Amino acid sequence: MPAPDRLVVGRVLRPHGIRGELSVEVLSDAPERFVPGAELGVGDPDGPAPPEPAVIRTARQHLGRLLLGFAGVADRDAADRFRGAWLSIPVASARPLGQDEFWPHQLVGLTVVDQEGRERGRVADVVPGAAHDLLSVELPGGATALVPAVAALVTVELDAGRVLVDAVPGLLGTDEE
């Protein structure tokens, strides 16, 4: 899968209050990107039209949720048009990754191999989860398995084009050969 031009860092849930603030689900581990003056793209980063640029006017936490206000968005009605929109940044603005960190687009398409070296499928998607991401693995025959992307179960060998999975019984479908 080719590298995307933009990375999703959040999703607008709904307007909050009457001053144009938006409740945002943060999908980034870099909270410093959500500060007044920072620019985000609003809209589908993979869509036909480029995301609309928006400058953060205000940012605050409220009941465990990030509330953002964008420049030029002064009331609830103006904020409502952003409901459900993706928030993204250019890939060039992303922080450098550590040795054992990967972008989701780098994992999609990799071959999934068990500890015995048997091919078990391929990574079809990376699904964000509350505690950790899940690898959606397309198994032979068209079935799908969700594998927790945790170091105890998964080792990524990006250069080899594969993901080693500790095949806990039932994790990758049937264990019968």
Domains assigned to the chain: 6-93 (2.40.30.60), 104-165 (2.30.30.240)
Three-class HEC string of the chain:
CCCCCEEEEEEEEEEECCCCEEEEEECCCCHHHCCCCCEEEECCCCCCCCCEEEEEEEEEEECCEEEEEECCCCCHHHHHCCCCCEEEEEHHHCCCCCCCCCCHHHHCCCEEEECCCCEEEEEEEEECCCCCCEEEEECCCCCEEEEECCCCCEEEEHHHCEEEECCCCECCECCCC
Provide the mean pLDDT of the chain. Answer: 89
What's the pLDDT score for residue 1? 54
- Tell me the whole-structure pTM to 2 decimals: 0.72
As a whole number, mean pLDDT of residues 26-43 equals 91
pLDDT band at 72 (very low <50, low <70, confident <90, very high): very high
pLDDT tens profile 96-154: 888 888 888 889 999 999 988 899 999 999 988 778 889 999 999 889 999 988 888 99
What's the pLDDT score for residue 21? 97
Q: Of the given ranges (14-18, 80-84, 98-102, 162-166), which has the lowest mean pLDDT?
A: 98-102
**Residue found by looking up tokens 């500890």 in the block:** 115
pLDDT surpasses 50 at 177: no
Walk across the sheet containing 111-114 and list its strands: 144-148, 134-138, 119-127, 111-114, 162-165, 154-157
As a whole number, mean pLDDT of residues 63-78 equals 95
pLDDT tens profile 74-98: 999 999 999 999 999 998 888 888 8
What's the pLDDT score for residue 16? 97
